[in-house]
Structure 1
Amino acid sequence: MATSLTAAQRQELQDAFNIFDSDKSGQISEKEVGNVLKALNIKINDDQLKKFVATMDTDKSGQIGFDEFCRVMSESFFKKHSEQELRTVFGKFDHDNSGYIQAEELESIMTKMGRRFKKSEIDALLQSLDIDNDGKISFDEFVKLF
C-alpha cells in the first residue's frame, strides 16, 4: 500500500515518523518506539517491543527507516477506524477525562515522547486542530484527523 499513497497521506506519515524520530536521525530506534508507546500509556514489555520493531525492520538494520514505517503504518493508518478505537486513542490524550484535549495535555504527551515544544508551538498545534476556536480539542474535532 505504501506505493499507492497520495502526497497528503505520505506527508501525514512523514509527520508521524518525525514525532517518533526524536533525535532527527532519519531512523526510528527501538528506544524511540518505546518512548512513544510509553507516552500513550501503552504497556509493552521489552520482548514485545523487540518483536514489534523487528516486524517493521525488514532490512534488519536495527532501525526503522521511513519506507519501512510507511509499509507498516499505511495499512492501518488510513483504514476507517471505529468510533470505539478513536475514543480509546482520544482518551490517551484526555488525561483529566474532561472530554477535551487541552494545551497542557498535548504538551504532556509530546514531552513524554521526548519532544519539547515552546508554548507558542503547542498553541499553534492546538489552534490548527481547534475548529470552533474554544481553546481545546473536542472528540469531534479529533475525529476529523482520521
Structure 2
Amino acid sequence: RERVGGGGGGGEVAHAQARRLAKRSVGSWRFGSWRRAEPLRPSLSSRCCQVMAYQQHQYRQQQQQQQQQHNGLQDQGFLWAVFQRVDRDRSGVISENELQQALSNGTWTPFNPKTVKSLIGMFDRNNRGGVDFNEFLGLWKYINDWQNIFRNYDRDNSGFIDKNELKQALTSFGYRLSDQFYGILVSKFDRQGRGQIAFDDFIQCCIVLQRLTDVFRRYDTDQDGWIQVSYEQYLTMVFNIV
C-alpha cells in the first residue's frame, strides 16, 4: 500500500521534527492549539526588594509625621510666647484693646477697632469679650490666611490695595459686582482718605460682605438673586451686621 508523504517513513520523521520544534517555543502547540506559557513568579530576591521598599516608604511616612508634629509643637510654643506678651494683665484672655495693640497692618497705624471687634466676635466662643489661647490659635491662622491673600494683590508692597486690586481679589472669591460698587466699597472702608484700602480695612470689608451675603441668601429662597423684604426686615438685616 502506498504511504502518504513519501517512502521510507519521511512523513513520520517530518511529523516528529515538527513536534520537537513546537516544544522549543515559549508556549507549545498541541495539534494546532496554543497553550499559554505559565506566568513568571517573583523570585525570593524580588520579594525581598518589595518588602524593603515598603518598609522604607513606611519609615519615610513616620519621619514626615514626626517632623510635622515637631513643627506643630514649635509653632505652638512660638504662639504661646506671643500670647503671653499680648496678654498684659495675665488674665489668660486677650481683650480687644490688647489685641489691637498687638496687631499691625503694615502701615504704622493702629489696627481698625471695628476689625478687632469683628475678629474677637468670631472666635470668642464663650462671650467673654476676649479670646483664650486655643481661640487665639484659630484667630492667628485666620489673620495669616488673610494676610497671604492681601499680599497677592498688593503688588507694590505698599500695604494698600486700590479699587482694581480689590476687584480682582473679590472676583476671585466669587463676587460679581459693578465698578461703581467697588468705588463705594473703597470710599466706605478707606479710613485714611487715600483712595486705597489697608490690610485691616480689607479684612473688615470682606467680613461685612460675607455677613451681608449670608443674610441675603436666607431671604433669597429661590436663589434668583432678588429678594423682597419689608422695611422692618431691612432694618433688622442692617442692625445685625453693623
| TM-score by shorter chain over 0.5 | no
With normalisation by structure 1, the TM-score equals 0.43
Q: Which has the higher contact order (CA 8 A, sep 6+)?
A: 1
Which of these two proteins has the greater Rg computed from alpha carbons? 2
